[in-house]
Amino acid sequence: GSFPKAEFPVIPGHEGAGIVESVGEGVTSMKPGDKVIPLCVPQCGECSFCRNPESNFCQKSHLSEPQNLLLDKTSRFSCKGKQIHHFLWISTFSEYTVVPEYAVAKIDAAAPLDKVCLFGCGFSTGYGAAINTAKVKPGSTCAVFGLGGVGLSVVMGCKAAGASRIIAVDINKDKFAKAKQLGATECINPRDFKKPIQEVLTEMTGQGVDYSFEVIGHADTMIAALASCNMSTGICVMVGELDSGSEISIDPTLLLTGRTWKGSVLGGWKMRECIPKLVSSYLEKKFNPDLLITHTLPFAKVNEGFELLHTGKSIRTVLLF
pLDDT tens readout for residues 101-112? 999 999 999 999
Domain ranges of the chain: 18-121+269-288, 135-263
What's the mean per-residue pLDDT of the chain?
Answer: 96
Cα 235 to Cα 130: distance, rounded to the nearest angstrom: 11
| pLDDT value at residue 313 | 94
The average pLDDT across 212-237 equals: 97
The average pLDDT across 24-36 equals: 97
pLDDT over 70 percentage in the chain: 98
pLDDT bracket for residue 244 (50, 70, 90):
confident
Cα 211 to Cα 204: distance, rounded to the nearest angstrom: 14
* Intrachain domains 18-121+269-288 and 135-263 with the same fold: no
pTM of the model: 0.96
The average pLDDT across 32-59 equals: 97
pLDDT for residue 96 is more than 80: yes
Q: Which CATH architecture group holds 18-121+269-288?
A: Alpha-Beta Complex (3.90)
Q: Which CATH architecture group holds 135-263?
A: 3-Layer(aba) Sandwich (3.40)
Long-range contacts of 303-306 (CB under 8 A, 24+ apart): none
Cα 246 to Cα 39: distance, rounded to the nearest angstrom: 26
